Amino acid sequence: MYFSRIMSYYYSIFCVVLFLSNGISLASSIEDQKRDKISRLPGQPENVGFEQYSGYVTVNEQNGRALFYWLTEAPLSREPNSRPLVLWLNGGPGCSSIAYGASEEIGPFHIKSDGKSLYLNPYAWNNLANILFLESPAGVGFSYCNKTEDMHTFGDQKTAEDAYIFLVNWFERFPQYKHREFYMVGESYAGHYVPQLAQIVHQRNKGIIYPIINFKGFMVGNGVTDDYHDYVGTFEYWWTHGLISDSTYKMLRTACDLGSLQHPSAQCLHALTVAQSEQGEIDGYSINTPPCNETSSSLRRGLNGRYPWMYKAYDPCTERYSDVYFNRPEVQKAFHANVTGISYAWKACSHVLWNYWSDSPLSMLPIYQELINDGLRIWVYSGDTDAVLPLTATRYSIAALKLPTVINWYPWYDNGQVCGWSQVYKGLTFVTVRGAGHEVPLHKPREALILFRSFLENKHMPSSS
């Protein structure tokens, strides 16, 4: 009896200490959130009806690496507290999720051509979920390293580990999102970022009954997936869409060793040069739309040097508007950005990261197989007018997984029109978006929102006209 009383006494003390420490932690997180809350962005429309936050989360104290985020919550009228949290990542490697995902694709605001004012995106994804945009890795956009040499050692693994540390620390700052349903979505080279980060989160959640990061699944669009199939599918797409000649197609298949294209031979590079010449001045990221009349940066949401044909990036001119807007001092102040006085101008993509990128695995398919086997929700989508990471490349990669088909290829509709096609496999859903380029939400925003809703609800694409 005496022992039980003693244990009860100490347990009571422990509970009080835990309560007080949690109270201190909660008070600290509330202060951090207040600091990060955006009162109003320059040029922002009136009465937007949702809350937004932005700021820095340190991921490495020793080297001074900090990642910049922008959270756009669901409108108050749509009960954001009941909505899931979705992380959005753009690729590159080295390109900004703020410049692309937020500012020209799925974000609530798009930038007008004056580079000063914003307008509401009626198909913003925060209508359905709380969207967290992350500039990753450090050195992208407003994210930074205090050690310049640190940016010369980035690759896939370091990026994934930093992103995981960011999430852990971010959830401490925003404890109201702990245990909330959490998803990841990304495009282009985020075809590497998303599965790799998903694998880390999933593995570290194992054995935890009620995980803080309540990870449910991910979706990847026009993503880098598997080098061999990306090359086979890309060459085939060029040929079947009349972008290159029969002889050049044969030359590409002969000269390019599809098993080791991270270091293409001189013959392969020559074949690629011929292919580029035959394609002419088209927009490889959206072959059915004209490029912007003015030339902007040659490095955008493109991919690293393993894809030599990807030097021309899609330019609907919106990137130039971002370059103006995010370099304005009043904008940076409103975003709580550039607090350390970065010595270089904000850019949509980092050439330094691009040039020094180190590790990049040949295939994401083993990770897909692992996460499919563990029952995560996985969707893959493709805009069918992208010649950089085309539909055919993704189909070859999915076929390599050898998944049983649950629902065979079928058209999906909106307003009586065929918007694309879908096939449901055991453990993976594949969706195409008709007439969309590399950035599906940029070209087909309404269809992209329908796709996003179907993914969140885990429902098949609408099959009735």
Residues annotated catalytic, as ranges = 188, 386, 438
Q: CA-to-CA distance for 376 and 374, rounded, in angstroms?
A: 6
CB atoms within 10 A of CB 90: 32
Q: Given its phi and psi angles, is residue 265 left (phi above 0), alpha (psi -120 to 50 degrees) or beta? A: beta
Give the residues across from 334 on adjacent strands. Answer: none
- Reduced to 3 states (helix: H, G, I; strand: E, B; else coil), residue 407 is strand
Between the two ends of the chain, the Cα-to-Cα distance in Å is 73
- Structural element, H or E, at residue 310: none
Cβ atoms of 440 and 381 closer than 8 Å: yes
Evaluate the CA torsion angle 151, 157, 160, 163 in order and state its sign: negative
Side chain identity at 395, as an amino acid letter? R
Q: CA-to-CA distance for 116 and 322, rounded, in angstroms?
A: 9
Q: CA-to-CA distance for 286 and 385, rounded, in angstroms?
A: 5
Cβ atoms of 419 and 221 closer than 8 Å: no
Q: Given its phi and psi angles, is residue 55 left (phi above 0), alpha (psi -120 to 50 degrees) or beta? A: left
- Return all residues near 121 (Cβ < 8 A) that are at least 6 apart: 106, 107, 108, 109, 110, 445
Of the candidates 414, 379, 449, which has an alpha carbon nearest to the alpha carbon of residue 126? 449
**Which tokens belong to 182?**
């959490």
The radius of gyration of the chain's CA atoms, rounded to the nearest angstrom, is 23
- Return all residues near 61 (Cβ < 8 A) that are at least 6 apart: none
Q: How many helical (H) and strand (E) elements, i.e. helices and strands, does the chain have? A: 13, 12
Length of the chain as a residue count: 465
Looking up tokens 């690496």 gives 65
